[in-house]
Structure 1
Amino acid sequence: MPRNLDLTAVRSFVTVADVGGVTRAAGYLNLTQSAVSMQIKRLEEALGLQLFLRAARKLALSPEGEQLLSYGRRMLALNDEALSRFTSTSCEGEIRLGVPHDVVYPAIPGILKRMSQAYPGLRINLVSSFTMLIKEEFGRGGFDVILTTEEAPDAGAEVLGSRPLVWVGGPEGRAWQQRPLRLGTGGESETAVEATVAADLAVTARMLGGLPADTVMLPADSGLPALGEMKLALYHSPRRKDEAMGMLLAEMRLAYSC
Structure 2
Amino acid sequence: MPRNLDLTALRAFVTVAETGGVTRAAGQLNLTQSAVSMQLKRLEESLGQPLLNRRGRGVALTPQGEQLLSYGRRMLSLNDEVWGLMRDDAFEGELRIGVPHDIVYPHVPGVLQRVAAEYPRLRVELISSFTRSLKEQFARGELDLILTTEQGVDRGGETLQTVPLMWVGAPAGSAWRQRPLRLAFETACIFRPTVQRLLDDAGIAWDMVVNSDSTRTVDAVVSADLAIHANLAGNAVPHLEIIDHGGALPELPVVAINMYTSTNGEAPLADAVAKFVREAYQPRFAAVAAQ
TM-score normalised per structure 2: 0.56
Aligned to 2:274: 249
Per-residue CA deviations over 1:31-54 (Å, capped at 9, x if unaligned) read: xxxxxxxxxxxxxxxxxxxxxxxx
Aligned to 2:99: 99
Aligned to 2:145: 145
Aligned to 1:229: 254
Q: Is 1:214 the equivalent of 2:239?
A: yes
Moved over 4 A (4+): 83-86
SS in structure 1 at match of 2:185: coil
Shift of 1:217: 0.8
Matched residue count: 175
- Structure 2: distance between partners of 1:207 and 1:257: 17
- The alignment yields a C-alpha RMSD, in angstroms, of 2.2
Per-residue CA deviations over 1:94-120 (Å, capped at 9, x if unaligned) read: 110011111101111111111111111
- Structure 2: distance between partners of 1:86 and 1:96: 23
Native 8 Å contact 2:262 2:270 kept in 1: no
- Structure 1: distance between partners of 2:88 and 2:244: 55
Give the strand-richer structure, 1 or 2. Answer: 2
SS in structure 2 at match of 1:155: coil
Native 8 Å contact 2:100 2:129 kept in 1: yes
Aligned to 1:126: 126
- Structure 2: distance between partners of 1:89 and 1:124: 15
Q: Which runs of 5+ in 2 are unaligned?
A: 1-82, 188-211, 284-291
Deviates more, 1:109-118 or 1:190-199: 190-199
Native 8 Å contact 2:98 2:127 kept in 1: yes
Larger radius of gyration: 2
Q: 1:248 to 1:88 in 2, by over 3 A?
A: closer
- Structure 1: distance between partners of 2:88 and 2:248: 60
SS in structure 1 at match of 2:97: strand
Per-residue CA deviations over 1:192-251 (Å, capped at 9, x if unaligned) read: 111211221111111111112311111151611100111111101101232x43331112
Native 8 Å contact 1:176 1:222 kept in 2: no
Shift of 1:89: 4.7
Aligned to 2:160: 160
Q: Identity over the aligned pairs, expressed in percent?
A: 42
Amino acid at match of 1:101: H
Native 8 Å contact 2:88 2:121 kept in 1: no
